[in-house]
Amino acid sequence: MEQRNISRSAKVLVYTVMILFTVLTVYPIFWLVLQSFKTNTDYLTHSKLAFPSTWYLGNYAFVMKQGNFLMFFKNSVIYAGVTVVAVVILSNMAGYAFAKLEYKITRLLHGLFIVGILLTLQSILIPLFLMVNATGIHNTRLAVLIPYIALGLPMGVYLCTDFEKSIPDELLEAARIDGAGFMRIFFSVVLPMCAPVSVTLAIITFTGTWNEFVLMSLMTSSEKFKAIPYMVGRYAGALGSDYGKLFTSLTVALVPILVFYAVFRNQITKGVAAGAVKG
């Protein structure tokens, strides 16, 4: 009887914490969407927690048309998609080499990759900008994609190397006996087995790339190569902000991330859990 009471108390506590956490997570999104239906005047003259005095849809029409949302969205998809694919494949390839190919220089090269984790974006912005200018690719998508991929590799190589050490050597040796070469073994055996850590790495890379603003703004000067974070920043300035359009742009920028999670939530949960246990 006593154990049953303790169990019920524990359940009440757990559900209370879960409900509280859910409210704290969902309410900011609800508040954000609510503000997107307000005019700038409505936002400034009424309570920030109040419902719109009139539900104004003009903010969405402005952001979608005059705000060129589709152009910025396309660039964000290109930057995030290409970066995720490149970082996942290259990190797994490098991790395979560092984990399974033993040479004298292996540890040195692996250490150089890991040092990249310690570098902050702000510390390399100036030399990075000078290098991009010197190569003549400034104000192109390559000027954004190459640094994105390079900055994602250190963490990716670290995660993949640690994970791929757990792959049995006997399995790889069996593939070699069957006549498979290095690349065949990687794509047919190693990469499928690395799905958990690949999903974890894809999540980290996608969210970081989708929300990145500073590097993308510095490496491109034309709006046709800029992404959604730049679109959001256009409605907020030091001299004044159009809050209705600002919250609307934040709302539409949030939708793809929510859709991404809704579609891949099972893979994300399994990938993070398996990657954490394996790592």
Residue 87 counted as domain residue:
yes
Q: What is the pLDDT of residues 126-138, one digit of tens each?
A: 999 999 999 999 9
Strand partners, 111: none
Residue 60 counted as domain residue:
no
pLDDT at 107: 83
Confidence of residue 271 (pLDDT cuts 50, 70, 90): low
Residue 39 counted as domain residue:
no
Task: Report the C-alpha gap between 64 and 56 in whole angstroms.
Answer: 15
Overall size of the chain counted in residues: 279
Q: What is the pLDDT of residues 41-54, one digit of tens each?
A: 888 888 888 888 88
Task: Report the C-alpha gap between 11 and 224 in whole angstroms.
Answer: 53
Residue 40 counted as domain residue:
no
Provide the whole-model pTM: 0.81
Task: Report the C-alpha gap between 195 and 88 in whole angstroms.
Answer: 10
Residue 6 counted as domain residue:
no
Residue 34 counted as domain residue:
no
Residue 42 counted as domain residue:
no
Residue 217 counted as domain residue:
yes
pLDDT above 80 for 266 = no
Average pLDDT score over the chain: 85
Which of 25-39, 187-201, 262-276 shows the lowest per-residue confidence on average (mean pLDDT)?
Answer: 262-276
The tally of domains found in the chain comes to: 1
CATH of the domain at 112: 1.10.3720.10
Task: Report the C-alpha gap between 82 and 63 in whole angstroms.
Answer: 26
* Contact between residue 136 and residue 89 where contact means Cβ atoms under 8 Å apart: no
Domain that holds residue 242: 68-278
Q: Where are the beta strands (DSSP E) in the chain?
A: 236-237, 240-241
